[in-house]
Amino acid sequence: MKKSNNITKSALSEKDGIIAPKSKDKSAIDKIKKKRRSKKSTDSLIEGIFKGDIVDLSRGITLIESGNPKHIKEARKIVKACLKNTTTSIRIGITGVPGAGKSTFIEAYGKYLTEKRKKVAVLAVDPSSSVSKGSILGDKTRMETLVRNPNVFIRPSASGINLGGVAQKTRETILLCEAAGFDTILIETVGVGQNETVVHSMVDFFLLLKIAGAGDELQGIKRGIIELADAIIINKADGENIKSAKLARVEFARALHFYPEMASGWNPKVLLTSALKNEGIMEVAELIQSYENHTKENGHFNRKRIQQNTNWFMQTIETRLRDEFMSRTEIKSELEHQISLIKKGETTAFDAAEKLFSK
């Protein structure tokens, strides 16, 4: 904090060298000063992020999350600057139903990583967090050790906006964290709705956390998630659970055998962990490392990132076109009317669209 303040001050006194007008209009002088200060502070914020200043990083993310047009403009400048400074990193998505032990797993895995001199950022994609309260990362005390670790940065999910908004903000937050020197980005999400698909679209490695149970392990997990997983971790494999966890491992490995090959040429693995007892964590870390080596060697790692960026671009365009179109008052009411006609089977999709466009 102190460091960043220093930068701000020196930057303010040196740069541009505009001479204040001799006008007696104090408010005009204030305006110019304010303008200069805000401009400098964006630059110094970027500088601070590059230096790994956590406070500046947090402020940058707050700007990204803001809906204020001035902040949006500032945030865009910061994100663009950070893009250029992106370091080599790995982005890991972690999903699982509530109770699978995501926080405990991240606590153990994060600790392992920092011991290997890694810098870890923990983010969350959970648009419902503002509503459901007790959700992931809301309670930082669940990651006691990590919170106090200077090489770990934890940031809860942006709230009060829809999934698309959270996704965009998380993508930009990743770039800022990477610019700040974090080389391992963990993105946590609960396996509900479309969350995990969205997280999958922004990570290099996707990890599904499960618990061994009495055959109902899949309860609450949406169809399609298993096919996205680069690894399935059966957590809480300790005490009385060990036997069923081992059984589940065999069965999952068998089931995975029936899935077609992944584009990455990677064969998803099933591992056992007890995050609570700190068991199996090294194996997970080594597995992810071998994935990174494998996909960097065959070029998939980079190809996937480029593809993700291109998809994100196209998605941004489509979302914006749709939002601008739908926000028009005359379209809104017609849209509802046409949807009700469709539901009653009284018009075709094509005809309904035609009606909308004739407006």
Positions touching a second copy (CB under 8 A) are 76, 79-80, 83-84, 86, 168, 171-172, 175, 218-227, 251-252, 254-255, 257-262, 306, 309-310, 312-313, 315-318, 320-322, 325, 338-339, 342-343, 345-354, 356-357
Q: Which CB atom, from 52 or from 165, has the smaller least distance to a second copy?
A: 165
Q: Which CB atom, from 4 or from 300, has the smaller least distance to a second copy?
A: 300
C-alpha to C-alpha distance for 69 and 50, rounded to whole angstroms? 24
Tell me whether strands 269-272 and 231-235 are parallel, antiparallel or unpaired. parallel
Which tokens belong to 2? 């102190």
Query: What minimum distance in Å lies between the beta carbon of 318 and a second copy?
Result: 6
Q: Which CB atom, from 53 or from 196, has the smaller least distance to a second copy?
A: 196
Q: Which CB atom, from 25 or from 261, has the smaller least distance to a second copy?
A: 261
* Residues β-bridged to residue 270: 232
C-alpha to C-alpha distance for 229 and 50, rounded to whole angstroms? 33
Buried b (16+ CB within 10 A) or exposed e, 37-59: eebbbbbbbbbbbbebbeebbeb
Query: What minimum distance in Å lies between the beta carbon of 279 and a second copy?
Result: 24
The helix-helix angle for 69-84 and 54-65 (nearest 10°) equals: 130
Q: What angle do CA 158, 205, 137 make, to 5 degrees?
A: 30
Query: What minimum distance in Å lies between the beta carbon of 140 and a second copy?
Result: 29
Q: Which CB atom, from 139 or from 227, has the smaller least distance to a second copy?
A: 227
What's the helix, strand, coil split of the chain in %, to 5?
60, 10, 30
Residue 96's H or E segment, with its range, is strand 90-96
SS3 276: coil
C-alpha to C-alpha distance for 146 and 151, rounded to whole angstroms? 9
Query: What minimum distance in Å lies between the beta carbon of 3 and a second copy?
Result: 27
Nearest partner of 184 among 49, 30, 289, judged by Cα = 289
SS3 65: helix
Q: Which CB atom, from 146 or from 199, has the smaller least distance to a second copy?
A: 199
Query: What minimum distance in Å lies between the beta carbon of 271 and a second copy?
Result: 16
Query: What minimum distance in Å lies between the beta carbon of 6 and a second copy?
Result: 29
Query: What minimum distance in Å lies between the beta carbon of 185 and a second copy?
Result: 16
Query: What minimum distance in Å lies between the beta carbon of 22 and a second copy?
Result: 38
Q: Which CB atom, from 160 or from 224, has the smaller least distance to a second copy?
A: 224
Q: Which CB atom, from 55 or from 356, has the smaller least distance to a second copy?
A: 356
